[in-house]
Structure 1
């Protein structure tokens, strides 16, 4: 008996979210414009001739809002990433997935691409009708125009992204003259293609299947976490079910599917909390419009908490939120302290391990060290090198070093001291600026032969 082959993969149906307007949609638009504006504008801003944000990988210098970092400062980046993760944990515990609904890059760019699609192909029903229509000149024109607008917007996004690593004026000028090549061209096209694919085609699939945050968010949720929920007691039974019995028994839900049609991930919020929900509140705006039209109170779908639905009150301060808040505050204060106490010069001292010492003459002995000095400033500097120790009789040669902006140099120096004295003496090698102020120092040992 023959069997019909079955596919192990079912293509996800394309979701065409319906346009909706309301209080929360307005906030999403404001967030989209603000975040996209920052992303596209920041690479062009200069202060004092320097970009306020530029990760110059070639020169190994990272300019961030007036702060210039070098590879030796990458521990600050690690600290910042930990702080960002803890911020996400704290924010999720308090407000649920508001980050996903209003500020996530996937959501922001998808909103922008949907706006372009809506203005070229029309609202939901027109887009669905266009999907089913045969390929005609009208369909080719609309689809072609949409993808052309998407690709231009994505290309602008790629140029702006590379502008954080290469001066954006240079990238834009070379792109216009078709002289952009090498890695800048690769990453411009790669990021443009990724934006076009993620925001234009994958959309909700990224949130549902690729984003790890949707999977582990439950570990940060509790009964006081803000979620979007449907008031089942007020809404059920729905009109479509109640008609079989009596309209008097019907709840407030008219079952017009508007909350499903506006959802960017295609879920029905009336089925309960689901990991696909990104808390964008589009269903709240849509449901409120319907309630206004039928003369019913708003907020059949609303932001709430499990405890609030059970008759309790929303508790902002609780064990989980306090714990995350204390850790977050500690990390933030630590990061600020590290930035404020960050030195403008980095000094490392390495002893010559092959020879502990060498006798110069009958009265002097020398130890050899390698100084690794990094200038973190934006201008050239000259440092004087000096030595202090228990006897304070040591001299160092050479006794000065000059460094270009951001330069790291290894300098071999010899430290000489009288032959007689301690076998091992603790000493400090110091760097002094033009004013004589000590800007960096490192302690090390000075060895003499046993007397």
Structure 2
């Protein structure tokens, strides 16, 4: 309750309307340990999201998913299309991590980490500051239009739009350098495509967090539908202890519960009023529940004021509610955990053994070979060297497997950080040293610490 007292006013609590009114959910503000944790995580994630594009590393944006140049900059690492295995492994780690957490703790991702939840509670916080508590918001919506209503509603939507534009700009700044995008938007020179995407994601944020809210969780999010496949009797989730709570009924704090044959639930409906999706957790496990813990905090507050033990609504497994114990070592959880560790180990190994440069060889497609004025046979190649680090590098290039070849062109190249450089070279051989028409060879590039190689062939007329 918002104003704790030494005695529960049963009539006022029980007659308060349900949070759903004509499809709109009026979420009542709630405090408590789970809400403090949720707010701490939510504001932390929001801060990381907003600050991310402005972080610098070696003079450039630390987090940049440059789709135009087909490379991702992640602090000191540049990921190229050839490194998509790392991205695939990372996504597999994230997937099995989500499966493991869901099998263990239910939908805590939805309640504490999901961007939809974080943005929704951010918008609700703005709404509460301008329109007041849930009851005041309901009354304001039903009231006729006035200057006060216009100012409050207009101010709320203005702040929603500003927050949405900030969100849209920040999201696109992970794909276009933040300084370049910001300067372009301020000077009206960003171009139609970047401007469109900023406006598009701003509109999505405004609609999802401001208007749709729980609809995203209950009707559009696929996770809420297939989560049941990961649940079992030992999955921890927000649950109502019906054995302890039933039969429900209002009573005074000093009432003899045994004589009234009532359970601990006083039917105050606070658990329903604080639920962001407007469900009644006492009806059992429902796919709309996002495990945010708001109902548990509200119920603990009421139990404390009534002098009852907390935990009528709590994180518990079905086995616990039935009087048994939760099995942590069970096939499903162990399987998800094993796959998570396997994928994580594979990702770490792939990242640790990743070579910080790449070499590709392209032959001259116009002709296999040509004869020089000296009568030698010459093949032309283009070596593409990619620097995957965040520091400029100088690489030395050589050829192996073709004894007696004359190298024509530069044998050292300077490659900027995160860039690629094409190096045209040619190899010439005395035809009397070439017994056949096709000769395999290998180009080697790098320096003493790191080197990479690429296979190719040398063609001649043969003899």
The TM-score bracket by the shorter chain reads 0.7 to 0.9
In the alignment, what sits opposite 2:111? 101
In the alignment, what sits opposite 1:442? 454
Q: Is the 8 A contact 1:19 1:262 kept in 2?
A: yes
**1:114 counterpart (121, 124, 143):** 124
Q: What TM-score, normalized to structure 2? A: 0.85
> 1:410-425 residue pairs with structure 2 within 5 A?
410-419=422-431, 420=433, 423=436, 424-425=438-439
Q: C-alpha displacement at 1:190, in angstroms?
A: 1.8
**1:430 counterpart (431, 441, 444):** 444
Q: C-alpha displacement at 1:87, in angstroms?
A: 1.4
Cα distance between partner residues in 2 of 1:353 and 1:154:
52
> Which moves more between the two structures, 104-113 or 248-257?
248-257
Distance 1:432 1:146, change over 3 A: closer
In the alignment, what sits opposite 1:6? none
Cα distance between partner residues in 1 of 2:144 and 2:324:
56
Q: Is the 8 A contact 1:396 1:416 kept in 2?
A: yes
Deviations 1:55-98 (A, max 9, x none): 34455443212222334333322322222112111111111110
Cα distance between partner residues in 2 of 1:294 and 1:229:
20
Number of corresponding residues: 436
Cα distance between partner residues in 1 of 2:423 and 2:24:
63
In the alignment, what sits opposite 1:65? 75
> 1:150-229 residue pairs with structure 2 within 5 A?
150-176=160-186, 180-229=190-239
Q: What TM-score, normalized to structure 1? A: 0.87
Unaligned ranges ≥5, structure 2:
1-20
1:394 corresponds to 2:405: yes
**1:277 counterpart (289, 308, 312):** 289
In the alignment, what sits opposite 1:326? 338
Q: C-alpha displacement at 1:330, in angstroms?
A: 2.0
Q: C-alpha displacement at 1:260, in angstroms?
A: 0.8
> Which moves more between the two structures, 332-341 or 96-105?
332-341
Q: Is the 8 A contact 2:434 2:462 kept in 1?
A: no
1:299 corresponds to 2:296: no
Unaligned ranges ≥5, structure 1:
1-10
How well do the aligned residues superpose, as a CA RMSD in angstroms?
Answer: 2.9
Matched residue of 2:101: which SS? Answer: helix
> Which moves more between the two structures, 437-446 or 351-360?
351-360
**1:259 counterpart (258, 267, 271):** 271
Cα distance between partner residues in 1 of 2:247 and 2:341:
47
Distance 1:425 1:225, change over 3 A: same
Cα distance between partner residues in 2 of 1:32 and 1:291:
27
Q: C-alpha displacement at 1:239, in angstroms?
A: 1.0
Q: C-alpha displacement at 1:252, in angstroms?
A: 1.2
In the alignment, what sits opposite 1:286? 298
Q: C-alpha displacement at 1:359, in angstroms?
A: 5.8
> Which moves more between the two structures, 340-349 or 407-416?
407-416
Matched residue of 2:359: which SS? Answer: strand
